[in-house]
Amino acid sequence: MIMKRYILIAIFLMTALPVLAQNRDYPSPDGKYCLTYNVTDKQYYMHDNRMDYTYCITCDDVDDSFEDVIEPVWRVDSRYVYLSGMYDIWQIDITRAIAPLKIDKRKKGSPVKYFLVYDGGTLSRSATIYMTTVNTLTGESGYATFFQKGYAYRYKNYKEKPSPCLNSY
């Protein structure tokens, strides 16, 4: 009886693992694009639905590795998508007119990790992006914000969680 349970549990786990390891899709707000996380090579791919064309948006210009733990966030106009890498947060211009921008100020080799904090939905064009920081050596945590207007942007680090009222630009 006990052996049958273990066999049934093993069969269930073996059939559930492929379901857990599937690619994940994130459609753009306007439906023109679909972002897909590929679990095999751990990269993000963009599919242009109008032209039926797929290209990798994190393979060449992004010096980071990705896990599909924190969901990407689209900007409301579908021009940018924000991705959390293993250490940094990236702003990707899906038209590829502008190179990917690392929106945190982590220096290469630093033990600080940045995580995107967003509760779902899309970002407005003038939204402030909130991030949490964790130092993997000391365990210290903090906060950061990023705000972009056109090609100019502002970035700030905080020890305490910033108030949304402080970031009205």
Q: Which residue has the higher pLDDT, 67 or 168?
A: 67
Confidence of residue 19 (pLDDT cuts 50, 70, 90): very low
Tokens encoding 132: 């949490």
Instruction: Examine the pLDDT at 16 and tell me if it is beyond 50.
Output: no
Mean pLDDT of the chain: 76
Long-range CB contact pairs, 108-112, < 8 A, 24+: 108/63, 111/135, 111/136, 111/137, 111/138, 112/87, 112/136
Rounded distance, CA 9 to CA 13, Å?
Answer: 6
Q: Which residue has the higher pLDDT, 98 or 33?
A: 33
Instruction: Examine the pLDDT at 165 and tell me if it is beyond 60.
Output: no
Q: 72-121, pLDDT tens digit by residue? A: 889 888 888 888 888 788 888 888 788 888 887 777 778 877 777 776 66
- Specify the pLDDT at position 154: 65
- Specify the pLDDT at position 167: 44
Q: Which of 71, 75, 61 is nearest to 25 (CA)?
A: 71
- Specify the pLDDT at position 77: 87
Q: Count CB neighbours of 97 within 10 A.
A: 7
Instruction: Examine the pLDDT at 8 and tell me if it is beyond 50.
Output: no
Instruction: Examine the pLDDT at 53 and tell me if it is beyond 80.
Output: yes
- Specify the pLDDT at position 1: 55
Instruction: Identify the three-state secondary structure at position 61.
Output: coil
Confidence of residue 33 (pLDDT cuts 50, 70, 90): very high
